[in-house]
A and B are shown apart, each in its own frame.
Chain A
Amino acid sequence: MKGHNESYAMELIIAKVKQGDMVAFNALIDEYKAMAFTLALKLMKNREDAEEVAQDAFVKAYSNINQFEGKSKFSTWLYTIVYNTALTRLRKKQLDVQDIDSHAVESSAFQSEPGHEWRKLERDERSSYIQQALGQLVSEDQVVITLFYLNENSLAEICEITNWELSNVKVRLHRARKRLLIELEKLLDTEVRSLL
């Protein structure tokens, strides 16, 4: 019921934005800015660029709001714009966003402590490890992890946002998850060794 009310409230807000209501648009920004910025940051790798991308995406969404017909969720439509805006900006900056050689990651030898060590770590330490591990992944792996686990987007929604094939999303998500765990394991292993 709550979810239904929320989506109805969002429909009202979007209808007001279509009429040029800036207060409603401000509410829309508040609702989605954190996720839009997080998504942009995963691709751009620095806060200034990510803020510009997220801002441009919101302005594009505002100027094209009549193209939003409610066929998909507003968030999905908005994140598609954020994703495309970030890619365009990256192309302009001529940054290389190619996948890193997966062989290099997977062939690195590691010996680590089992998973239960993880649960012993304090929250702050865990947070630091997660950030570090995520930082080791390529942009697109970070994006797929962020959308699926953090924002709880479905695979179909991720396809819509990124314009990837479903099979590609599945493979990438599986690979990204595996890499994230490997990175966490490596970091934990290094930490344990440094204590010895």
Chain B
Amino acid sequence: MSKFELSDKELKQLLQNEGLEEPSLSFNRLILEKAAAYEHARSIKTPLALKIVFGLVMVVPVIFIFIFGGVDLGLSDALQGQQLSIPKPDLDFQINNYYIYFLALTVGVIWLSIIFNKMLSHRDGNPVKNG
């Protein structure tokens, strides 16, 4: 047990006499710059057409691969005996396979970077609670 005797009031006074730490003089300026940068980024509007094009670029190859790329979803087993068949039009765009693979790879990389970015921001950023 401590022999040192200080009441709560005395300890509070003692610590308050110490005062608070002061940050550097550029503290406010740096925050305001960051806030202005945030406002600037928020004010940039992505055109709707660009969003639609981006969405199509991201989604169409996935649909294409699943429908025409030979991916077996097991639907044929599930639909067995029901006399249903998925139409598979024979499309030939006369595109070199090299470009198709390159496109698929690019889309894959973009998808992975989006998922990875989401994971990182979820891990790093404690979501701000309502106050």
Q: How far is the CA of A22 from the CA of B33 in the complex (A)?
A: 10
Residues of B within 8 A of A145 (CB): 15
Bits for B89-105, please: 1 = Cβ < 8 Å to A, else 0. Answer: 00000000000000000
Identify which of A41, A58, A118, A188 contacts B31 (C-beta below 8 A): A58
Residues of A within 8 A of B46 (CB): none
Residues of B within 8 A of A131 (CB): 18
Main secondary structure of the interface of B (DSSP, over half): helix
Bits for A133-169, please: 1 = Cβ < 8 Å to B, else 0. Answer: 0000000000001100110100000000000000000
A149→B15 contact, CB < 8 A:
yes
Binds B, one of A2-10, A65-73, A94-102: A65-73
B32→A26 contact, CB < 8 A:
yes
- Taking A51-B23, A114-B3 as contacts, is the C-beta distance between A130 and B124 under 8 angstroms? no
Q: Does B70 contact A (CB under 8 A)?
A: no
Identify which of A22, A58, A77, A184 contacts B131 (C-beta below 8 A): A77
Q: Does A81 contact B (CB under 8 A)?
A: yes
Identify which of B4, B16, B22 contacts A150 (C-beta below 8 A): B16
Q: Does B36 contact A (CB under 8 A)?
A: yes
Q: How far is the CA of A67 from the CA of B22 in the complex (A)?
A: 28
Whole-angstrom distance from the CB of A118 to the nearest CB of chain B?
7
Identify which of B31, B125, B129 contacts A67 (C-beta below 8 A): B129
Q: How far is the CA of A6 from the CA of B32 in the complex (A)?
A: 23
B38→A59 contact, CB < 8 A:
yes
Identify which of A25, A55, A60 contacts B27 (C-beta below 8 A): A55
Bits for B106-129, please: 1 = Cβ < 8 Å to A, else 0. Answer: 000000000000000000111011
A181→B2 contact, CB < 8 A:
yes
Residues of B within 8 A of A69 (CB): 130-131
Residues of B within 8 A of A71 (CB): 130-131
B18→A34 contact, CB < 8 A:
no
Residues of B within 8 A of A34 (CB): 20-23
Residues of B within 8 A of A182 (CB): 2, 4
B31→A59 contact, CB < 8 A:
yes
A33→B35 contact, CB < 8 A:
no
B18→A74 contact, CB < 8 A:
no
- Taking A63-B38, A130-B14 as contacts, is the C-beta distance between A88 and B125 under 8 angstroms? yes
Residues of B within 8 A of A88 (CB): 124-126
Q: Does A29 contact B (CB under 8 A)?
A: yes
Residues of A within 8 A of B27 (CB): 29, 33, 37, 51, 54-55
Considering the complex of A and B, which 5 residue pairs feature the smallest CB-CB distances, nearest first? A77-B131, A115-B5, A34-B20, A84-B126, A64-B128
Subset of 11 A-B contacts with CB under 8 Å: A29-B27, A34-B21, A54-B23, A59-B38, A62-B35, A62-B38, A68-B130, A88-B124, A88-B126, A118-B6, A127-B18
